[in-house]
Amino acid sequence: MKKKIVLLSTIFLVMLGLVACGGNKKENAPANNAGNKEAATEEKTDLNVGFVTDEGGVNDESFNQGAWEGLKKAKDELGINAEYLESKDSKDYTPNLETFADQEKDLIFGAGFKMGAAINEAANSYPEINYAIVDVDVTVDENGNKVEAPDNLLGIMFRAQEPSFLVGYIAGMTSETNKVGFVGGQEGNIIWGFEYGYRAGVDYAAKEKGEEIEILSQYVGNFSDAQKGKSIATTMYQNGADVIFHAAGGAGAGVIEAAKEADKWAIGVDRDQNDLAPDNVLTSAMKNADVAVYQVVEQMKNGEFEGGRTIELGLSDEGAVGIAPTSDKNVKPEILEKIDGISKKIIDGEIKVPYNQETYEEYK
């Protein structure tokens, strides 16, 4: 009898264990269960975004870094997932874009006009994915002819000539030698906007001063050779320039280094570069890629992404472009206090800022 009771107790315990195990199995049902698929879809609300840099890399102290900062802000504030792939040279553009497409990103950003053809091809190849690119007008081809952009591709352009005009005015008013410089990365429509906007701003200052101001200009040929950027700037300083504005991406770090060594002024670009040389960066022409990228991601999250077009941002779009917030550290107050008035004239169309040689000749 005792043995029988023990046996029955054992069977009872085993049955309890089987029921318990069965309960656990039901609770942790596999992901292919239809009910769990629906629940997982409801819970997954994050937007997956990828960013492909150009050769400057994500720490270029310029617009690649600005774009990534915008994505990091969106990650923190909007709850998106974001990651980047760096391109060592132009051959990396297509493989990097394909990597993110294979990962089924919802939105893929590119940066730089050299990536224009690659991202256009990607947008055509993966119509289910949305794409956006900074510094490319997706509605024109390489020859400037109007084209129809893919519906899933958005171009983001800045009227870079407008903040360049402002820093040109500051450079002209600050210069004690009446000789200033411009160092560009690679010639083309984008960088010409910086150069000729800057030239026009210097001319505006020269007129106010009633003096001639000479402008030295030279291009690096790329956006990554900091040593060449430094060499060009050093020569300009030796030839009498005391303020140099660079629009050269990573190569511009060399310009700022040359300013430190010569104890002269440099003007940064795309982001506030005062932190690179607090005593030698006079101001910076801000092209806030972070602001534009954040806005596009926010629109995408709200279901408002609209491709097949290019948006262009300028001084009239608050926060998109302007001069660095640290400008008050080194720019004389009497110069800085005139910037708001000049900005208003640009916004109102009273000053038509040139963006290439042809429009610059018209401006003059």
pLDDT at 247: 96
Could you count the other beta carbons within 10 Å of the beta carbon of residue 184?
A: 28
pLDDT at 319: 85
Strands 321-323 vs 281-287: parallel, antiparallel or unpaired: antiparallel
Mean pLDDT over residues 68-83, rounded?
Answer: 96
- To the question of pTM greater than 0.75 for the whole model, the response is yes
Q: Over 70: is that where the pLDDT of 206 sits?
A: yes
Amino acid identity, position 120: N
User: How far apart are the C-alpha atoms of 82 and 107, rounded to whole Å?
Assistant: 10
Would you say how long the chain is, in residues? 364
pLDDT digits (tens, 9 = 90+) for 34-66: 333 233 333 334 899 999 999 888 988 778 998
Mean pLDDT over residues 201-208, rounded?
Answer: 98
pLDDT at 152: 98
Of 74 and 33, the one with more pLDDT: 74
User: How far apart are the C-alpha atoms of 38 and 31, rounded to whole Å?
Assistant: 10
Q: Over 90: is that where the pLDDT of 16 sits?
A: no
pLDDT at 18: 34
Whether 320 and 63 have beta carbons less than 8 Å apart is answered as no
Whether 215 and 199 have beta carbons less than 8 Å apart is answered as yes
What are the backbone angles phi and psi of residue 184, rounded to the nearest 5°? -100, 160
Confidence of residue 3 (pLDDT cuts 50, 70, 90): very low
pLDDT at 285: 97
**Quick one: how far is CA 74 from the chain centroid?**
14
Q: How far is CA 222 from CA 89, 178, 187, 199, 225, in A?
A: 11, 28, 9, 21, 7
Tell me how many degrees the CA angle 356-57-274 measures, rounded to the nearest 5: 70
For 153-310, where are the alpha helices, taking DSSP H only? Answer: 161-174, 189-209, 226-238, 252-262, 289-301
Whether 36 and 27 have beta carbons less than 8 Å apart is answered as no
What percentage of the chain reaches a pLDDT higher than 90? 76
What are the backbone angles phi and psi of residue 236, rounded to the nearest 5°? -65, -45
Of 30 and 334, the one with more pLDDT: 334
Hey, what are 282's tokens?
A: 């006079």
User: How far apart are the C-alpha atoms of 338 and 336, rounded to whole Å?
Assistant: 5
Domains of the chain, first to last: 48-158+290-313 (3.40.50.2300), 161-286+332-363 (3.40.50.2300)
pLDDT at 5: 39
Whether 318 and 278 have beta carbons less than 8 Å apart is answered as no
Pick from 275, 280, 282, 232: nearest CA to 252: 232
Amino acid identity, position 65: Q
pLDDT digits (tens, 9 = 90+) for 240-269: 999 999 999 889 999 999 999 999 999 999
pLDDT at 61: 73
Could you count the other beta carbons within 10 Å of the beta carbon of residue 228?
A: 18
